[in-house]
Structure 1
């Protein structure tokens, strides 16, 4: 095994796409859960947060069961794409999205709930629809929580290992990300290469978490 920038580049691409995907789904989900009187909300949110506590191998197994060649979804995708999504970059993005979604959901939910009800009420009195309220009031006033959600989700997606290894594999030059590259390097006795990838991962995570702490400090100073 030789040193390569591909796992670094792929990790950045996968984490970036996954973060955008979970943001879009989280916006819709949180809006739906907070604005509508949803029945079974506790059960739905329990399912949403399961990826935080389930072993990554279980998540990988479930993804294989859902998108594998023997499932209806997997067969439909194979017909549309002409091939399975197993052991592809798409699979890595899906795995990263699943594990990152709860963090984005919780961050957005916290931000939305902190918006002053008086402001929301005044906007409704002035005739603002639920969607206008979301895009012109709730989201702008929740920008710190949204930024925190982006950072946490990106960091989680960037470091995803177990589900990615099972669902997308560890194919050098194709689906190998930093975590799986570290795993393969250690298995191959290439400790120096594993250390390089680990330092890159630590560096990215440190910078992102430092930025998040800066947002938190600024928020506390303004209180």
Structure 2
């Protein structure tokens, strides 16, 4: 147990150093294994990106490939090595630079992280903004190993992309006419859909349409 605590702190130190963040305190209690952290920051004069500004006609985009954490969990259940997938789960990279670039671009109408999964985030943005979204399954970026592990596990790829938390990419909406500002900010992104007035997110898959539920795990 002591080694596990040291390993956790080592990971926190490495991530904080990468992000230019200081660790200013901590507390320990005896308990059944809960670890919680709190991050505090300042906007430094910048306006925050909200969840509530998406409007019909905006594009829906993510900053990078998804499905890694879900693929890692499936791989562990199957007894597979899957080092790339495990890396996505165990050593994620917070999208700090991307977030700053998106905010500075002035082109983003709404944004949030994907720590609770894409399905939950899509529903959250729709509810906060009072809009709907059409999302193309084929447009959602994913690493090759996600497809491979989905086949081996018998799980639909869409489940690995939509249902699992632990993702560290950003989901955002933006005015299509202002995407050039995001390119100028050198933030990588993939357009996965479009905002509409349907009031809920829906997935387009091979000509079929289905409601995207909140993530299940």
TM bucket normalised to smaller: under 0.3
Instruction: Specify which structure has the higher proportion of strand.
Output: 2
Q: As a proportion of its length, which structure holds more helix?
A: 1
What TM-score do you get using the length of structure 1 for normalisation? 0.22
If the length of structure 2 is used for normalisation, what is the TM-score? Answer: 0.23
